[in-house]
Chains A and B, each alone.
Chain A
Amino acid sequence: MTGLRGAAAVVGVGLTPHHRRSTGGPALRLCLEAIVAAAEDAGIHPGDIDGFVSYGAERSEGQKMMPALGTKELRFAGLAWSHGGGIPGALNVAASAIATGQAEVVVVYRSLSEYDGRRLQLDVAQDDTAAQFLVNGLDAPVQLCALGTMRLLEGEGVPASTLRAMAQASYHHAQRNPAAVGNGTVLSDAEYARSRWISEPYRLFDCSRENDGAAAVVLVSAERARDYPDAAYLLSAPLGAAAGWGPLEGNQNPLWSAGFGAVAARLWAESGYRPEDVDVAQIYENTTGMGVSALIDHGFCSLEDAAELITFDNLIAPHGRLPINTAGGNLAEGFIHGMGLVVETVRQLRGTSVNQVPDARLSLMTGGPGDAVVSSALLGTRDTL
């Protein structure tokens, strides 16, 4: 136990529209919109935010936003490693700052815009792609993930139907989310099968969208959260990598995994809950296959019975065994480097999702799968503490 269980809670969320690439304007402006919205949602003056935490190659640093937010004093700032793998870990960093008295109101956020950024190569991959990949025709994360998922399918025998189920559940949920970029796209079996290959075993619909936008959540101490009946308490948000994992250029073991083994073990141990207790999950899926691996890593199913759990019916709200990506996820809601998933994780506990799971009390978010270090977060309502 780290002593952080339940020490902090999310009391405000903000999310901009998912603008089409390069139409959203400056990332810093989008970031301010999301942070101000999150502060107002929490009933806190934006100038009272004293901690700023993000991940990846975030360039909208707190100090750049101070004049626009009316910040009284910036007391804490940090970035969780690395890429999308660090998202839930960023919540952990924020909770650590709050629990140790370094800051009182901490915002965790991410902004992306092609208007003034360079997207995947720099903003997401941080220009850190090894020569072993680039020399051999591997550039995009989707290609690297494809090698892991081919190992999952052909090497371990997990059926490709699991990939399609992940995609169809996300698009299904997007139909009730007017803000989702996949709203209006009905993903039938035939439509999925017709879609073009990107990098086998991935088709177009297996891959996440890219958007301009920003998302933010505001955290305060558990004590202060008592004023908020719908506060989402952070039960655990470990970040890490076990030996045999990391930036090993295809030498990770086991390569079919999304790298969550050790992190998931700590998540269940620290939170005191188990996979079967989880009501709803937001599974970061840069690609469908990595989402499948994340579910296996977290113990929702095994390699052997993955196809039994990971079906369309089981993955959809309100009554599936494990509804996932209930706002559409990175595939169908839109992609702000996964930060939209944190917002939806909180919405489910508040009862305000467009695809609400009845009486959701435990809401999971898994971070960028297959990343060199990864993180996951379990959030709960007050009665789960």
Chain B
Amino acid sequence: MGSRFKQHRISGGIGGDDRFWEALEDGELRLCRCGSCGAWQWPAHFRCGRCGSWEHDWPLVEPVGTVYSWTRTHMAFPRTTARAESVPYVVLLVEVDGTDGARLHGVLEGPADALAIGARVRGTIHPPADESLGYPSLRWALETAEVSR
């Protein structure tokens, strides 16, 4: 596996999600479930706190969900200077369908007219780029104006 993101390793956070980024770089959205009791585990961790298993499954997940929260950022920060040309941009926090409420961030692309908590979104996967700090990324687009609170 020659995943490019590993050359740009971001060391913060828990660090149990390599499989997520590998899959994303291969064009697939995969999230973590316990290999024994089947509980969804997000962010991915190394051991299931419910049953004690160290085994994981990484099933394919359809990149659709509901907006849980959002922010529109109006300036670049020290580690997001590659997005200086894109400000203001909207970042969504999305509850992904069929994952027991796992939430994933992603930049909003396309029209923002229907942007609201509860709006339905669909994601597309983008290859590693400077603006995503050498990692692959998931971007979201609003599906319709329909809102389901």
Residues of chain A whose beta carbon lies under 8 Å from any beta carbon of chain B: 121, 127-140, 143, 146-148, 150-151, 154-155, 196-201, 247-251, 255
Contact = CB atoms under 8 A, between A and B. Distances in A.
A132 B24 CA distance: 12
Contacts of B132: 135-136
Contacts of B17: 131-132
28 contacts: A129-B13, A130-B12, A131-B13, A131-B135, A132-B105, A134-B133, A135-B10, A135-B105, A135-B132, A135-B133, A136-B91, A136-B137, A136-B138, A137-B91, A139-B77, A147-B91, A148-B69, A151-B69, A154-B69, A197-B72, A198-B73, A199-B74, A199-B75, A200-B71, A200-B74, A250-B93, A251-B43, A251-B102
Interface residues of B, number: 42
A370 to B, nearest CB: 13
A146 B105 CA distance: 13
B74 A154 contact: no
B41 to A, nearest CB: 10
Given A134-B10, A138-B105, A199 B137 contact: no
Contact of B11 (A127, A139, A147): A127
A155 B69 CA distance: 8
A66 B77 CA distance: 37
B117 interface: yes
Contacts of A150: 69-71, 117
B35 interface: no
A249 B104 CA distance: 8
Interface in B49-67: none
A249 B117 contact: no
The 6 closest A-B pairs by CB, nearest first: A130-B13, A146-B71, A139-B77, A131-B10, A136-B105, A129-B12
A134 B117 contact: no
Given A137-B83, A137-B107, A139-B80, A132 B43 contact: yes
B72 A121 contact: no
A255 B68 contact: yes
A139 B79 contact: yes
Contact of A249 (B43, B107, B131, B133): B43
A91 to B, nearest CB: 28
B12 A147 contact: no
B73 A137 contact: yes
B55 to A, nearest CB: 21
A250 B42 CA distance: 10
Contacts of A139: 77-80
Given A130-B10, A132-B104, A198-B75, 8 more contacts: A130-B13, A132-B13, A134-B10, A134-B80, A154-B116, A155-B69, A250-B68, A251-B103
A131 B72 contact: no
For A132, A139, A196, A251, which residue has the most chain B Cβ atoms within 10 angstroms? A132
B127 interface: no
Contacts of A198: 73-75
A82 to B, nearest CB: 13
Nearest to B72: A200
A200 B71 CA distance: 5
A137 B117 CA distance: 19
B106 interface: yes
A131 B69 contact: no
A136 B132 CA distance: 6
A139 B68 CA distance: 19
A213 B10 CA distance: 30
Contact of A196 (B74, B86, B131): B74
Contacts of B135: 131, 135
B58 to A, nearest CB: 16
Given A132-B105, A154-B117, A137 B70 contact: no
Contacts of A146: 71, 73
A235 to B, nearest CB: 33
B14 interface: yes
Interface string B5-29: 0000011111001000100000000
B46 interface: no
A355 B138 CA distance: 49
Contact of A143 (B11, B13, B77): B77
B98 interface: no
A137 B10 contact: no
Contacts of A201: 71
Nearest to B132: A135
A198 B69 CA distance: 17
Contacts of A196: 74
A199 B78 contact: no
